[in-house]
Amino acid sequence: MTTEQDVKPGRNRRLSRELVLKGLYQQFLSGNSTSDILRGMTEDSTYLHADQAYCKTLINGVMENLPGLDAKIAQFIDRKIEELSPIEHAILCIAGYELAFDMSIPYRVAINEAIELAKRYGGADGHKYVNGVLDRLAADLRPEEIQKRRPAPKS
């Protein structure tokens, strides 16, 4: 049997993000508390295969910073935050948290992981919307990192 101590950090952060997405979706629809979300995540059959420590860090971080994340995301969307689908909202919050608070995750990874979640769980073109919003959010939150990644102008 696998225990939390047996799972190596980073083992499956994609699965961790999926679990947090499901938890945030439930919270946005029903108003569940963070402890209820965590309990639901740990009861999911895939939880033992996820990076459990990262699941907890991510859900706690998003929930603790949700008003600030929503305010920052609202600057880059074309509608009110309340009008986002719960899936898009949750994905933007997860990636927004990673961009704002976890510099160990390159901005491109945060955006690509969000796009993959949107392709899998979102609407038909939701991934394009998520990509556009996160590109602008990353430019605002990590301008130095983005500048370093841009190719030098040709002379």
Q: Where do the domains of the chain lie?
A: 4-148
pLDDT tens track for 86-142:
999 999 999 999 999 999 999 999 999 999 999 999 988 899 999 999 999 999 999
Tokens read off for 24: 């945030």
Query: Distance (Å, rounded) from C-alpha 128 to C-alpha 110?
Result: 15
3-state secondary structure of 75: coil
Fold of 4-148: N-utilizing Substance Protein B Homolog; Chain A (1.10.940)
Interval 13-29 mean pLDDT = 94
Is the CB of residue 22 less than 8 Å from the CB of residue 44?
yes
Query: Distance (Å, rounded) from C-alpha 100 to C-alpha 141?
Result: 6
Residue 80: pLDDT over 60: yes
Amino acid letter for position 28: F
Interval 41-58 mean pLDDT = 92
Query: Distance (Å, rounded) from C-alpha 84 to C-alpha 92?
Result: 10
